[in-house]
Each structure stands twice: as structure tokens, then as C-alpha cells.
């Protein structure tokens, strides 16, 4: 470690995932038979928090849950991961849920019912940042109201936090807000929506990343599934390949990547090391079922890297 480990604060969503496995994903209007069903803790915010905490990050989280049994399960999972959950507050609406269907290749479809996540507000962002012991790394996503994210970005930027936004699901980001974010982390679909151009290849992803830079972002990381990820800032562009594994369930792969990246950035590791560490974490996650159940501990990830190697980021030209 090349310095003091910085704290990580996640302001975001918590969901209970209701997961069905089947041979293939149904077509519109079609009924198919599934092979099994299970529930698992999820929500992009909570997934990223757990991913970072299991890898040794000093993590706190702010969000909202309902007053139901799902809430108790989700809170217990955060605490088991060592996350400071003081700013997970109760709302009158039900805890968020996600309906997930997974086929035999690991591909999925997801329908999110936001519930209590939509009660996250600017005041909660104020309380969370005031008590997080920063400056550190702030992780945000698009599964809470835009006003809460905007307030968190503004406060964090003023207090010298490193601000990361995972723009999922995709929606427009105001230019003044984009300029205050250190790192935007879309997948290829989200990058295409933000940049306003198709992303069907690595070259397309790099072009889209540069277009998002032109819109005001300081750095962009586009995750590309089996083709790894592209990092682009105003000084350089890097491609880091994915770990070579057979996918079982791709749910939360992006969250595993972002949580691991945050944990490594918090340790102030070199960027190339952070990208390789994050790629390995995502690779391990897709070999397991479920969102948070798929997220590795530090010991598990180190064993995976010892066995499979760690992907190495390379400079992109062009």
C-alpha cells in the first residue's frame, strides 16, 4: 500500500433480488419453464458497497429501505460485510426489489421496482457525507433520484472527494454535474446513450468515451463484458482485458468491477493495477450465482489471481 487507505462512501440503492433460472430468456408474450428460483441481496449501490468492503475497503453506505422483512435481510448483509450502515434509513414505501431472469449462458434480464430507493434525498446525502470521515471515494449510481445524486456530487466535489458515477440505468447527465465527476463508469449500452453514438466494438467504445470527455467528464471507464474495459482521460487511453472464465451469472459483474476498483483506488495503487484487480474481481463474480453472493473476499480474489493471473492494462493508440 502506497499511503493511507481512503474511506469509501456509497450513496445508492438496496434491492432484494428475486431470481429465476431457465434454459433461455423468454420472448415477448412467451411462457417458459424455469429450473430454479432464489432470492439474493442486491441493488447497485449495496452491491458496490459489499464488493469494496469484502476486498478490505473501509466502507459506509447511505440509502433507504422499507419496514419489511427484506429490509432486515439487506441490513444484516451489509453489517456482515463490515459496512457502516448508520445512514441506511427507513421509508414508508416497500424495500426495492428486482426481478431477474438468467439463462444457461449467464445472460440476464432485470426489472427493478425502486420502492424505498426513491425516498433517498439531498438531506440524506448531507448527513452521509458529513459523517463519512473523508475526503475519500464516493460511489453513486442512477437507482436513486437525480436530486440526491446532484447534491452528493456538489458536496463531495467541494470537500475534495473522488467522485464516481455509474450511470445505470442510463439517463442524461447535466453538463455542469458531469464536469464535477472524476470518473463516469458506463457499460457499452449506457456509454452509447450518453455519447449519442452506437457502441458495437472496442473502437466504438473508445470513441464514445472520448465523446463523454468532450461533454465535460474528467475520466471515463467503459465496461465491455467479455472484452474487458476501456479507461480514457485527457492524458491517455487504456484497455484492460477481462479474466478468461466461463460465465454462470453476469448479474452484478459491473458492480464487482466498480467496488474492486474503488477498493484498489482507496489504497492508492497505480491505475493499471487497479484496473487489473477490478477485472479479476468481475471475472470471479460471473462464475457464481446471485448479486452479493457472487462478490469475493480479499482472500478468495487473491487465490483466484494466483490461479488465473491478473489481467494487464495496455495503452491504446488511435
DSSP state letters, 156-167:
HHHTT-EEEEE-
Per CATH, the homologous superfamily of domain 8-13+44-93+117-315 is Ribokinase (3.40.1190.20)
Q: What is the pTM of this model?
A: 0.93
The packing angle between helices 271-285 and 253-266, to 10°, is 150
pLDDT tens digits for 284-313? Answer: 999 998 889 899 999 999 999 999 999 999
Mean pLDDT of the chain: 94
Q: What is the pLDDT of residue 211?
A: 95
- Whether residue 135 has a cis bond before it, omega within 30° of 0: yes
> If you average pLDDT over residues 57-80, what whole number do you get?
97
Asked if 12 and 63 count as a contact pair (C-beta separation under 8 A), the reply is yes
> If you average pLDDT over residues 268-281, what whole number do you get?
96
168, three cell numbers: 445505470
HSE-up of residue 253 (Cα within 13 Å, Cβ side):
29
Asked if 120 and 92 count as a contact pair (C-beta separation under 8 A), the reply is no
176, three cell numbers: 455542469
Catalytic residue among 182, 204, 249, 255: 255
> If you average pLDDT over residues 186-197, what whole number do you get?
94
Q: Residue 90 — φ and ψ, nearest 5°?
A: -85, 145
The residue extents of the domains of the chain are 8-13+44-93+117-315
Lowest mean pLDDT, pick from 63-67, 130-134, 177-181, 279-283: 130-134
Torsion angle defined by CA atoms of residues 246, 37, 281 and 97, in that order, rounded to the nearest 10 degrees = 140
Residue 255 falls in the annotated catalytic set: yes
Q: How far apart are CA 308 and CA 77, in angstroms?
A: 28
> If you average pLDDT over residues 11-26, what whole number do you get?
94
Amino acid at each position: 500500500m502506497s499511503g493511507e487507505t481512503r474511506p469509501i462512501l456509497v450513496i445508492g440503492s438496496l434491492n432484494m433480488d428475486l431470481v429465476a433460472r431457465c434454459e433461455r430468456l423468454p420472448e415477448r408474450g412467451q411462457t417458459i419453464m424455469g429450473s430454479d428460483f432464489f432470492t439474493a441481496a442486491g441493488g447497485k449501490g449495496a452491491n458496490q458497497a459489499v464488493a469494496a468492503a469484502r476486498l478490505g475497503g473501509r466502507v459506509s453506505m447511505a440509502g433507504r429501505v422499507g419496514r419489511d422483512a427484506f429490509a432486515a435481510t439487506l441490513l444484516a448483509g451489509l453489517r456482515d460485510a463490515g459496512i457502516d450502515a448508520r445512514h441506511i434509513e427507513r421509508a414508508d414505501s416497500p424495500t426495492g426489489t428486482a426481478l431477474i431472469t438468467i439463462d444457461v449462458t449467464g445472460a440476464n434480464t432485470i426489472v427493478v421496482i425502486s420502492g424505498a430507493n426513491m425516498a433517498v434525498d439531498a438531506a440524506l446525502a448531507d448527513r452521509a457525507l458529513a459523517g463519512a470521515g473523508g475526503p475519500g471515494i464516493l460511489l453513486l449510481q442512477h437507482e436513486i433520484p437525480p436530486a440526491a445524486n446532484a447534491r452528493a456530487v456538489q458536496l463531495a466535489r467541494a470537500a475534495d472527494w473522488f467522485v464516481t458515477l455509474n450511470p445505470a440505468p442510463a439517463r442524461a447527465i447535466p453538463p455542469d454535474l458531469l464536469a464535477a465527476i472524476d470518473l463516469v463508469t458506463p457499460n457499452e449500452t449506457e456509454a452509447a446513450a450518453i455519447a449519442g453514438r452506437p457502441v458495437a466494438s472496442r473502437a466504438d467504445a473508445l470513441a464514445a468515451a472520448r465523446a463523454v470527455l468532450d461533454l465535460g467528464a474528467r475520466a471515463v471507464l467503459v465496461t465491455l463484458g467479455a472484452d474487458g474495459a476501456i479507461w480514457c482521460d485527457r492524458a491517455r487511453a487504456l484497455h484492460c482485458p477481462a479474466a478468461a472464465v466461463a460465465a454462470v451469472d453476469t448479474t452484478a459483474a459491473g458492480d464487482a468491477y466498480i467496488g474492486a476498483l474503488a477498493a484498489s483506488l482507496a489504497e492508492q495503487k497505480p491505475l493499471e493495477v487497479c484496473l487489473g484487480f477490478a477485472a479479476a474481481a468481475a471475472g470471479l463474480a460471473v462464475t457464481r450465482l446471485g448479486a452479493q453472493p457472487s462478490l469475493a473476499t480479499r482472500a478468495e480474489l487473491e487465490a483466484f489471481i494466483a490461479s488465473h493471473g491478473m489481467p494487464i492494462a495496455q495503452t491504446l493508440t488511435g
